[in-house]
Amino acid sequence: MTIESLPLSLQSLRATRASLRDAVIHTAQWHNDVLSAALGTSLAFKFENLQRAGSFKIRGATNKIARLLADDAQGNGVIAASAGNHAQGVARAAGLAGLRAVVVMPTNAPLTKIEACRKMGAEVHLHGTNLEQSTELALEIAQRDNLAFLSPYDDWDVIAGQASCGLEMLEDAPDTTLAVVPLGGGGLLSGVALALKLQNPAIRVVGVQTDTVAPWRRFLVDGSIEEVAPDAHTIADGIKVKRAGKLTRQVIACYVNDIVTVSDNAIAEAIVTLLEHTHTIGEGAGVTGLAALMSGKIHVSDQDRVVCVISGGNVDMSLVGRSIDYGLASSGRLISLSVTIQDTPGNLAHLLDTVAKLSMNIRHVEHRRGELHVPVGMTQVILEMETRGPEHQNQLVALLQEEGLQVNLLMASGGND
DSSP string, 345-362: TTHHHHHHHHHHHTTPEE
Per DSSP, what are the bridge partners of residue 407?
A: 339
Q: Looking at the structure, do residues 188 and 311 belong to the same domain, yes or no?
A: yes
Residue 145 and residue 61 share a domain: yes
- 407 and 345 both lie in a single domain: yes
CB 123 within 8 A of CB 145: no
**303 domain residue, yes or no:** yes
Q: Is residue 87 part of a domain?
A: yes
**Phi-psi region for residue 54, left (φ > 0), alpha (ψ -120 to 50) or beta?**
left
Same-domain status, 72 and 173: no
pLDDT score of 304? 98
**Contact present, 58 and 93 (Cβ < 8 Å):** yes
Amino acid in the structure at residue 382: I
Looking at 88-97, 207-216, 396-405, which range is the least confident one?
396-405
Residue 5 included in any domain: no
Last residue of a domain, one of 133, 149, 165: 149
Residue 27 lies in a domain: yes
pLDDT digits (tens, 9 = 90+) for 291-342: 999 999 999 999 999 999 999 999 877 777 887 887 788 778 899 999 999 8
What was the pLDDT predicted at 4?
53
* Mean pLDDT (whole number) for 42-55: 97
Band (pLDDT 50/70/90 cuts) for residue 414 is low
- Domain CATH for 383: 3.30.70.260
> How far apart are the two ends of the chain, measured CA to CA in Å?
35
Mean pLDDT of 211-220: 97
Q: 252 and 392, same structural domain?
A: no
Give the end of a domain, one of 264, 299, 327: 327
Residue 355 pLDDT > 70, yes or no? yes
DSSP state letter for 378? E
Model pLDDT, residue 322 = 80
Asked, for residue 4, whether it belongs to a domain, the answer is: no
Q: What is the pTM of this model?
A: 0.88
The whole-angstrom separation of Cα 86 and Cα 82 is: 6
User: In terms of domains, do 48 and 174 share one?
Assistant: yes
215 plus 278 within the same structural domain: yes
Domain presence at residue 46: yes
Q: How far is CA 245 from CA 61, 192, 335, in A?
A: 16, 16, 42
Evaluate whether 346 touches 406 at the Cβ level (below 8 Å): no
16: Cβ–Cβ under 8 A, 6 or more apart, which residues?
A: 63, 160, 161, 163, 164
User: Per-residue confidence at 109, pLDDT binned at 50, 70, 90?
Assistant: confident
| 416 domain-assigned | no
**Using one digit for the tens of pLDDT, what is the confidence trace for 268-305?**
889 989 999 999 999 999 999 999 999 999 999 999 99
pLDDT at residue 417 in the model: 45
- At residue 416, the pLDDT reads 43
CATH code for the domain of 73:
3.40.50.1100
Give pLDDT, residue 374: 84
Question: How far is residue 323's CA from residue 400's CA, in Å, rounded to a whole number?
Answer: 29
Q: Is 224 exposed, middle or buried (0-12, 13-18, 19+ CB in 10 A)?
A: exposed
Domain extent at residue 356: 332-411
How many structural domains does the chain have?
3
Residues 389 and 260 in one domain: no
- Give the domain-ending residue among 89, 116, 149: 149
Which parts of 257-372 are beta strand (E)? 258-262, 305-310, 334-342, 361-368
Residues 51 and 168 both lie in one domain:
yes
Task: Please check whether residue 2 lies inside any domain of the structure.
Answer: no
Among the listed ranges 138-147, 173-182, 400-409, which one has the minimum average pLDDT value? 400-409
Q: Give CA–CA dist 403/330, Å, rounded.
A: 27
Considering the domain architecture, whether residues 303 and 376 belong to the same structural domain is answered as no
pLDDT in the model for residue 411: 74
User: Taking 80 as the threshold, does the pLDDT of residue 384 lie above it?
Assistant: yes
Predicted confidence (pLDDT) per residue in 51-83, tens digit: 999 999 999 999 999 999 999 999 999 999 998
- Provide DSSP, 151-188: -SSSSHHHHHHHHHHHHHHHHH-TT--EEEEE-SSSHH
145 and 71 in one domain? Answer: yes
Same domain, 376 and 317: no
